[in-house]
Amino acid sequence: MQLREQVALAPYTTFSIGGPARWFAEAEDENSVVEAVRFARERGAPLFVLGGGSNLLVADEGFPGLVLHIALKGVEQKGDMFHAAAGENWDDFVSLAIERGYGGLECLAGIPGSVGGTPVQNVGAYGQEVSGTITSVRVLDLNHLTFSELPAAACGFAYRRSIFNSSHRGRFVVTRVSLRLRRNANPVLSYADLKRYFAGRATPPTLAEAAAAVREIRHAKGMLLVEGEADCRSAGSFFKNPVVPEKMYDEIAATAAFAVPRYAATRGFVKIPAAWLVEQAGYHKGYVLGDVAVSSRHALALINRGGATARGVVALRDQIVASVEAKFQVRLEPEPVLVGFGGDGQARSAG
């Protein structure tokens, strides 16, 4: 285990925001993960497990404990089963699977972050969720300091949710993800954007063409990390799409001047695109508040215009949440994980 002190966290996040970690450990194998956990415990220090840093907002004051960066590497394939170490880059893993002729992840191309983060929020995009292919997740159970293999059914997967970010938050460290992929599968083209992209084509696209299309669509929305592009300094979608009862949707639709977009959700509920609510509440694409802005390409991403602070992001977040609630009686929930903030999502006072 490599250990450093006072390490700036901003470079480890796609937002490029955040103060230093008191301690910072890099784990390249499972023993180092245990060693780091013990180190934190001996000092009574809080622990934060860092993956790809693509879904995080780190406080300006940083994190007062140990940040454990998961750098475990390696992908093993046995037939249609793939076992990927948590520290592998997600998009590289998707590309590898497709190169080998396996489908199931093509719509999840171009998502920044690491493999280990994907089961935590059950990453999803363009008609697929990782829970559709994950068979089990190898974890370190922090209650007993033992490793175990949690079958998918025990992970409680739902929209942007699992036991890892809800009922058992903070209990497990993901070290490996096992997925069953489908050899020579046809790409899933259920999402409207993808259907539009391939409309009029006589032959179905290959997995690689579908993945390339997803990357292109993500790029147009500023949801692909491209070095040097300002709109990419974000944590992707900043809010979850709220799932509301049908009745509430009808009430909103009754007051709106034109059709309110909706996605299917579980029976009796409707998912409303948060981006639409944000725009209707007055925050158009490109809306600026100091060094923070609503992305000019997608209203659901807040971006760091350069030099932004976590405090600045929180200020815009609070304004948007208040405006959407006042207009629609819907309370938006942020999607990124907050690190170094108090329980209310407000920054801790320094020191």
Whichever of 16 and 241 has its CB closer to ligand EPU, that residue is: 241
Residues 155, 119: contact at Cβ < 8 Å?
yes
Determine which one of 54, 61, 160, 234 is catalytic. Answer: 160
Distance in Å, CB of 12 to ligand EPU, minimum:
17
For ligand EPU, the binding residues (CB under 6 A) are 125-126, 191, 193, 221, 223, 236-237, 240-241, 261, 273, 275-276, 279, 285, 298-300, 335
Q: How far is CA 141 from CA 34, 47, 138, 147, in A?
A: 10, 14, 10, 6
Please, what is the minimum distance in Å from the beta carbon of residue 299 to ligand EPU?
3
Residue 24 or 287 with smaller CB distance to ligand EPU:
287
- Check if 227 is active-site: no
Residue among 125 and 142 whose Cβ is closer to ligand EPU:
125
Catalytic annotation, pick one of 26, 88, 106, 335: 335
Could you confirm whether 160 is annotated as catalytic? yes
Residue nearest to ligand EPU (CB): 236
Q: Specify whether 335 is catalytic.
A: yes
Distance in Å, CB of 6 to ligand EPU, minimum: 30
Q: Which of 114, 131, 178, 237 is catalytic?
A: 237
Q: Measured from the CB atom, is 47 or 332 closer to ligand EPU?
A: 332
Residue 263: CB minimum distance to ligand EPU, A:
7
Catalytic residues: 160, 237, 335
